Copies of this chain bind each other. A is one copy, B any other.
Amino acid sequence: MENVKLVLIEDNPRYRSTLSDFFRLAPGFDLAAVYGSAEALLADVQQLVQAGKPLPWKMAMMDIELPGMDGIEATRRLKKMVPDNHVVMMTMFEEPATILEAISAGADGYLLKRSNSREVLDQLRSIATGGAPLTSGVARTILDLLRNSDLGKTAPRKDTPGGLDLTEREHEVLRCLVNGCSYKEAADQLGITIHTIRFHVKGIYGKLQVHSVAEVVRRAVRERLV
Residues of A within 8 A of B (CB): 69, 73, 76-77, 97, 100-101, 103-106, 108, 126, 130-134, 136-137, 139-140, 142-143, 145-147, 149, 151-154, 157, 159, 161, 177-182, 210-215, 217-218, 221-222
Contact = CB atoms under 8 A, between A and B. Distances in A.
A154 B221 contact: no
Given A213-B213, A214-B180, A131 B142 contact: no
Nearest to A210: B180
The copy count of this chain in the complex is: 2
Contact of A142 (B108, B142, B161): B142
Which 8 pairs show the lowest CB-CB distances between chains A and B? A104-B152, A131-B136, A180-B215, A132-B140, A132-B139, A221-B221, A217-B217, A180-B214
Contact of A152 (B100, B143, B154, B218): B100
Contacts of A151: 100, 104, 145, 149, 151
Contacts of A149: 149, 151
Nearest to A126: B136
Given A104-B151, A132-B143, A221-B222, 19 more contacts: A73-B157, A100-B146, A103-B152, A104-B146, A108-B143, A130-B140, A131-B139, A132-B139, A132-B142, A133-B136, A133-B139, A142-B146, A145-B151, A151-B151, A177-B214, A178-B214, A180-B211, A217-B221, A221-B221
